[in-house]
């Protein structure tokens, strides 16, 4: 499970892309495409390879006026699943 | 039925290849070298694909590195907005060429593996020195930092090397491995006796993959294509005919799958004559087996029909002689029992009787 001090990184070959034909954000990865809903797009867009997961959830909490703990709980599952598929790396 | 846009396109840039694997997925009738699409036409096709909704482009062959304009093609694909994947044996790639591909924006490399040592790999590939060269290329891929998938093609002669293939993928830093048991179309169909896995090998591979998926979770993703003659349900071929992906052959023919030309009554459009979107939505070959309307029993009333779409049309054609029949791999097919008996018999065939793939023909000599 990703912790507040961990720094999530989208590794080379994984990028966020606007799919203009289907009018949705997607995550492009080696030979795979993941459709992103608004919440997933919001958290992945914050990943810059420098800020920690804690800092990211704080920023999202402020922007969307929602509890940081709730955002952390919701996005940890997504990031964990992406990590298992090697679409995300974590620097601790 | 509403038809959705395709996600993936396989561009077979050429049928030329330094290797001559006896299970090559190219058709028996290879596209002639002088019939290959030129750089500008491929670039136009990439733009049309992106407009149509394709996100993932697989540059394949033959060996795509046999195209001198590979770097230009990668650049054109990236400019079109496509995620660009190179499917290669590694032969024909130099360190300098890889760095040019990196600069052009290549996203990912899938490297094929014919065996886990030179003796096996060079025999299967029919190319002496190929394995050592491939290992050198794998080293450069790692140094440059390309994301890597290893594609191990397995059959009776090398299935015992699966554990080592998994280790090699980890050692090379691959994020993913495709463990692909040979599917019997085209060249592989000619080599069924020599390549058919035994039932025991198929079960052992299932076990190894299941264990490795646990043990390597978070390190290596394993995509697995099992030995389907020994299975009870068919594969969902191409994700469903005309639903997910399309192939463009070296000469511009647009195919619903790489083996579709083995279905003799189908006619195929060419990107030289018709826009790609029109071919996808209206082309006769794409509509032939789309959806479920074409199905007969036992598929028509089957609860799995939207799960596997009746399996592989080309396999039904090859084994049963009817492309609209249920894939004979399926337990519900009247041909299932016979296929399993056949598979056992093929698996006792001679390993020496390999027919290696031929080379594409060059331009015809002008008449005297």
Q: Could you report the per-residue pLDDT of B274-331, keeping only the tens digit for each?
A: 999 999 999 999 999 999 999 999 999 999 999 999 999 999 999 999 999 999 999 9
Residues A11-37: pLDDT tens digits? Answer: 999 999 999 999 999 999 999 999 999
- pLDDT higher than 80, residue B162: yes
The pLDDT tens digits for B325-366 are 999 999 999 999 999 998 999 999 888 889 999 888 887 655
Whether residue B55 and residue A12 make contact (CB cut-off 8 A), yes or no, is no
Residue of B nearest to A12 (CA): B147
Report the gap between the CA of A29 and the closest CA in chain B (Å).
8
Mean pLDDT of chain A: 95
Give chain B as a 3 state SS string.
CCCCCCCEEEEECCCCCCCCCCCCCCCCCCCCHHHCCCHHHHHHHHHHHHHHCCCEEEEECCCHHHCCCHHHHHHHHHHCCCEEEEEECCCCCCHHHHHHHHHHCCCEEEEEECCCCHHHHHHHHCCCCHHHHHHHHHHHHHHHCCCEEEEEEECCCCHHHHHHHHHHHHHCCCCEEEEEECCCCHHHHHCHHHHCCCHHHHHHHHHHHHHHHHHCCCCCEEEEECCHHHCCCCCCHHHCCCCCEEEECCCCEEECCCCHHHCCCCCCCECCCCCHHHHHHHCHHHHHCCCCCCCCCCCCCCCCHHHHCCCCHHHHHHHHCCCCCCCCCCCCCCCHHHHHHHHHHHCCCCCCCCCCCCCCCCCCCCCC
* pLDDT-derived band at B2, boundaries 50, 70, 90: confident
Domain residue extents for chain A: 7-91
Chain B interface includes A33 (CB < 8 A): yes
Q: Considering chain B, what percentage of its residues have pLDDT values greater than 70?
A: 98
Contact yes or no for B55 and A17 at CB 8 A: yes
Please compute the mean of the pLDDT values over residues A53-57 and round it to a whole number. 95
Please report residues of B whose CB lies closer than 8 A to that of A13: 107-108, 146-147
Phi first, then psi, for residue B210 (nearest 5°) are: -60, -45
Measure A23 CA to nearest chain B CA, in Å.
10
A85–B contact, CB cutoff 8 A: yes
Give the closest residue to B167 by CA, choosing from B211, B127, B217, B216.
Answer: B216
**Which residue does chain B place closest to A84, by CA atoms?**
B218
Q: Which residues contact B120 (CB under 8 A, 6 or more apart)?
A: B114, B157, B158, B161
pLDDT band of residue B1 (cuts 50, 70, 90) is low
Lookup: tokens for A7:
């720094």
Across all residues in chain B, what is the average pLDDT? 95
Please tell me which of the candidates A11, A28, A83 has its beta carbon nearest to residue B55. A28
Res. B9: pLDDT tops 80: yes
Q: Once rounded to an integer, what is the mean pLDDT over residues A52-76?
A: 93
Portion of chain B with pLDDT greater than 90, in percent: 91
Say yes or no for a CB contact (<8 Å) between A21 and B146: no
**Would you call A22 an interface residue with chain B, using a CB distance cutoff of 8 Å?**
yes
A21: helix, strand or coil: coil
**CB–CB contact B146 A26 (8 Å):** no
- Residue-wise pLDDT for B228-267, tens only, equals 888 899 999 888 999 999 999 999 999 999 999 999 999 9
C-beta atoms of B110 and A17 within 8 A: no
Average pLDDT over residues B21-41: 95
Nearest-Cα residue of chain B relative to residue A16: B83
Q: Quick check: A81 contacting B, CB < 8 Å?
A: no
Which residues of chain B approach chain A closer than 8 Å at the C-beta? 5, 7, 51-53, 55-56, 58, 81, 83, 85, 107-108, 110, 145-147, 149, 175-176, 217-221
Q: Which residues of B touch A33 (CB under 8 A)?
A: 7, 55-56, 83
pLDDT of residue B351: 82
Partner-chain contact B58 A26, CB within 8 Å: no
Distance from B343 to chain A by nearest Cα, in Å?
Answer: 31
pTM of the model: 0.95
Cβ pairs bridging A and B (under 8 Å) = 57
Q: Do B147 and A30 touch (CB under 8 A)?
A: yes
pLDDT at B368: 44
Q: What is the mean pLDDT of residues B84-98?
A: 98
Q: Do B175 and A19 touch (CB under 8 A)?
A: no
Residues B69-91, mean pLDDT to the nearest whole number = 98
In CATH, what number does A7-91 get? 1.10.10.1150
pLDDT class of A3 with cuts at 50, 70, 90: very high
Token output for B357? 């793939």
Partner-chain contact A86 B55, CB within 8 Å: no
């Amino acid at each position: 499970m990703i912790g507040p001090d961990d720094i999530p990184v989208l590794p080379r070959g994984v990028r966020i892309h606007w799919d203009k034909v289907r009018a949705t954000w997607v995550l492009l990865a080696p030979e795979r495409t993941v459709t992103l809903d608004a919440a997933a797009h919001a958290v992945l867009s914050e990943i810059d390879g420098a800020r920690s997961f804690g800092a990211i959830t704080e920023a999202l909490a402020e922007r969307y006026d929602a509890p940081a703990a709730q955002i952390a709980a919701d996005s940890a599952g997504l990031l964990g699943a992406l990590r298992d598929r090697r679409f995300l790396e974590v620097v601790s | 039925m509403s038809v959705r846009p395709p996600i993936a396109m396989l561009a077979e840039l050429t049928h030329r290849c330094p290797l001559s694997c006896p299970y090559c997925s190219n058709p028996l009738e290879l596209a002639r070298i002088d019939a290959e699409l030129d750089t500008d036409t491929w670039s136009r096709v990439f733009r049309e694909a992106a407009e149509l909704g394709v996100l993932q482009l697989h540059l394949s062959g033959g060996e795509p590195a046999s195209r001198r304009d590979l770097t230009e093609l990668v650049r054109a694909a990236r400019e079109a907005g496509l995620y660009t994947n190179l499917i290669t044996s590694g032969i024909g790639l130099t360190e300098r060429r890889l760095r040019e591909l990196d600069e052009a924006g290549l996203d990912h490399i899938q490297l094929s593996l014919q065996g886990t040592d030179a003796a096996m790999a060079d025999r299967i590939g029919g190319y002496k020195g190929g394995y050592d060269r491939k290992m050198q290329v794998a080293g450069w891929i790692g140094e440059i930092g390309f994301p890597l998938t290893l594609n191990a093609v397995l059959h009776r002669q090398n299935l015992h090397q699966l554990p080592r293939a998994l280790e090699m993928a980890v050692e090379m830093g691959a994020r993913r491995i495709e463990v692909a048991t040979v599917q019997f179309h085209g060249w592989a169909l000619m080599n069924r006796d020599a390549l058919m896995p035994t039932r025991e090998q198929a079960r052992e591979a299932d076990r190894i993959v299941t264990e490795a998926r646990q043990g390597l979770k978070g390190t290596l993703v394993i995509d697995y294509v099992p030995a389907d003659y020994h299975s009870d349900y068919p594969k969902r071929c191409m994700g469903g005919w005309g639903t997910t992906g399309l192939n463009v052959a070296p000469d511009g023919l647009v195919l619903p799958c790489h083996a579709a030309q083995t279905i003799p009554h189908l006619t195929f459009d060419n990107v030289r004559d018709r826009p790609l979107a029109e071919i996808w939505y209206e082309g006769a070959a794409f509509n032939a087996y789309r959806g479920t309307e074409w199905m007969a029993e036992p598929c028509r009333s089957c609860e799995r029909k939207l799960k596997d779409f009746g399996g592989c049309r080309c396999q039904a054609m090859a084994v049963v002689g009817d492309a609209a029949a249920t894939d004979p791999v399926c337990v519900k097919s009247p041909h299932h029992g016979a296929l399993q008996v056949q598979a056992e018999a093929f698996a006792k065939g001679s390993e020496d009787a390999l027919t290696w793939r031929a080379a594409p023909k060059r331009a015809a000599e002008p008449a005297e």
